Amino acid sequence: MEIKRLLWANDLSKCSEEAIPFVKSLSEKYNAEVHVLYVLQDLTKQTRALVWEFR
| pLDDT of the residue at 51 | 75
What whole-number distance in Å separates Cα of residue 27 and Cα of residue 8?
A: 11
**pTM tops 0.75, yes or no:** no
Q: Are strands 5-10 and 33-38 parallel, antiparallel or unpaired?
A: parallel
What whole-number distance in Å separates Cα of residue 42 and Cα of residue 37?
A: 15
Residue 38 near residue 10 (C-beta atoms within 8 A): yes
What whole-number distance in Å separates Cα of residue 21 and Cα of residue 1?
A: 21
Question: What's the whole-number average pLDDT of the chain?
Answer: 87
Low-confidence ranges of the chain (pLDDT < 70): 43, 46, 55
| pLDDT of the residue at 55 | 67
What whole-number distance in Å separates Cα of residue 31 and Cα of residue 3?
A: 8
| pLDDT of the residue at 7 | 96
